A and B are shown apart, each in its own frame.
Chain A
Amino acid sequence: MRMCLAVPGKVTEIKGKTAIVEIMGVLREASLELLEDVKVGDYVILHAGCAIEKLDEAEALKTIELFKELKDIYHE
């Protein structure tokens, strides 16, 4: 396991300060101590046994739209 690897996964279960996160079908334990308000069903970025940030689905969709709009990426 490379130390810098950080990957998105879906929270399937929460027990206290620990979550079970599904990454490409594989379940991993992750500490939730660096985040607030994580819920089952949220996507998080998992790094070295910790969830380090939540993934914002609305922003994810916006980015995908941006990919499709070749011109808009240049200016806000």
Chain B
Amino acid sequence: MNNYLDPYRDTGLLHLWAERLQKYQGKPLKLMEVCGTHTMAIARYGIRTLLPERIRLVSGPGCPVCVTPSYYINSAVALARRPETIVATFGDLMRIPGDEGSLLEAKSLGADIRVLYSPLDALKIARDNPERQVVLLSVGFETTTPIFALAIDKASQEGLNNFTVLSANKTMPEVLKVLAGDPTVGIDGYLYPGHVSAIIGTRFYEELAEKYGVPGVVAGFEPLDILTAVAALSEICNEGRHTVRNLYTRVVKPEGNPRAVQAMERVFEPADAVWRGIGRISGSGLAIREEYARYDAWKVFDLQIGEYSEPEGCRCGEILKGTKSPGDCPLFGTRCVPENPVGACMVSSEGTCAAHYKYGGIR
């Protein structure tokens, strides 16, 4: 496998591409990536240090944990505190501060919370614990949602009656439109997320390019994938072309993965969603369909969607829109650090503030 990845990390070629980019003389550009894995890779490989002044690469709302509103965490903590429940979750959600503490704190006070590798593992926990209620926490974009859908579908086929899902899943298209149409954000081009695109395909991006005039390039996650995608995108933007280029063809097909989309659409339907730091965007989230209501933890436990508020002083909202950098936040690295995060962008290792903190960010 090392051999397999080597050509995507070739240092000689990286330097050649960086040199080429340094010669960029076109108009100043603001390019946005919208994928937590890109955020991390860009920070880790120091991609920004290779770019010329004129090309700014910012991180948008691509980390699903970062955009999950605090009321979701409050509901998850409330469920975890009930003695009959087992909460099953990805580890990333454990440290997000809610109004009544984090899931990690609830766990240290005795709540039964299990960290999973796959949503499908929650089914086994439910089978093994018939006297308990297993609540699976479900956040994520199109890459992950089909797997939650699969878990719900399997539970329904098995007739499991002690399994529910607390969903806050989101989809990319509407938020991409909102940001593309917002002049205060001023995006020239999108670097599209490879694995979301693997599921939804690239046709929506064409629409965005035509209607909103924002071109894009679909990129993989290795350093050469990212650098060449930035180079291609800069050129497309500078020439004023409204086109989409797929440079991750080894994984992304124009039609995406129809089987995964079907799985997702069978169980979920479009719904309004609140994006932490950005606000409510209609049709930008997913809710469990009525046919699967008995697996919907919001309904089964009659949970109220609370008000959403941001921690005082936190600039995550502007950071998620790419109008501010972590360094612009007075709390960055002082009161807000990964071990003790104030805002959501510092919680997940894929959050912009956490990535800047760990690897150092430039501009």
Measured CB to CB, the residues of A under 8 A from B are 1-6, 8-10, 22-25, 31, 33-36, 43, 45, 47-50, 52-57, 59-60, 62-64, 66-68, 70, 73-74, 76
Which A residues are CB-close (under 8 A) to B35?
Answer: 4
Give the chain A neighbours of B235 by CB distance below 8 A.
74
Give B residues with C-beta under 8 Å from A.
1-2, 4, 7-8, 10, 13, 16-17, 20, 35-37, 63-65, 90-92, 117-121, 139-140, 143-144, 146-147, 150, 195, 198-199, 220, 224-225, 228, 231-232, 235, 245, 247-252, 257, 259-260, 263, 348-350
The reply to whether B263 and A34 form a contact with Cβ atoms under 8 Å apart is: yes
Q: List 14 A-B contacts (CB under 8 A).
A: A1-B117, A3-B90, A3-B144, A8-B1, A31-B150, A35-B257, A47-B143, A49-B147, A50-B147, A52-B147, A56-B250, A63-B249, A74-B235, A76-B245
A34-B257, A35-B259, A53-B251 given; A8·B63 CB < 8 A: no
Known pairs A33-B263, A57-B250, A70-B16. 14 more at Cβ < 8 A?
A: A1-B90, A2-B349, A3-B64, A8-B1, A34-B150, A34-B260, A47-B143, A48-B119, A48-B144, A49-B121, A53-B198, A59-B249, A63-B225, A64-B7
Q: Using Cβ atoms and an 8 Å threshold, which residues of chain A touch B16?
A: 70
Residue contact A45 to B144, C-beta cutoff 8 Å = no
Closest to A76 in B: B245
Contact B118 A50 (CB under 8 A): yes
Q: Is the CB of B250 within 8 A of A49?
A: no
Question: Is B64 within 8 A of A4, CB to CB?
Answer: yes
Across the interface, A66 reaches (CB within 8 A) one of B90, B144, B228, B350, namely: B228
Residues of B within 8 A of A53 (CB): 195, 198-199, 251-252, 257
The answer to whether A8 touches B4, judged by C-beta atoms less than 8 angstroms apart, is yes
Contact A73 B232, beta carbon cutoff 8 Å:
yes
Residue with the highest number of chain A CB atoms closer than 10 Å, among B63, B64, B260: B260
Taking a contact as CB atoms under 8 Å apart, the answer to whether B1 and A24 are in contact is yes
Q: CB-CB < 8 A to B7: which residues of A?
A: 64, 67
5 closest Cβ contacts across the A-B interface? A49-B118, A3-B90, A60-B250, A59-B249, A59-B250
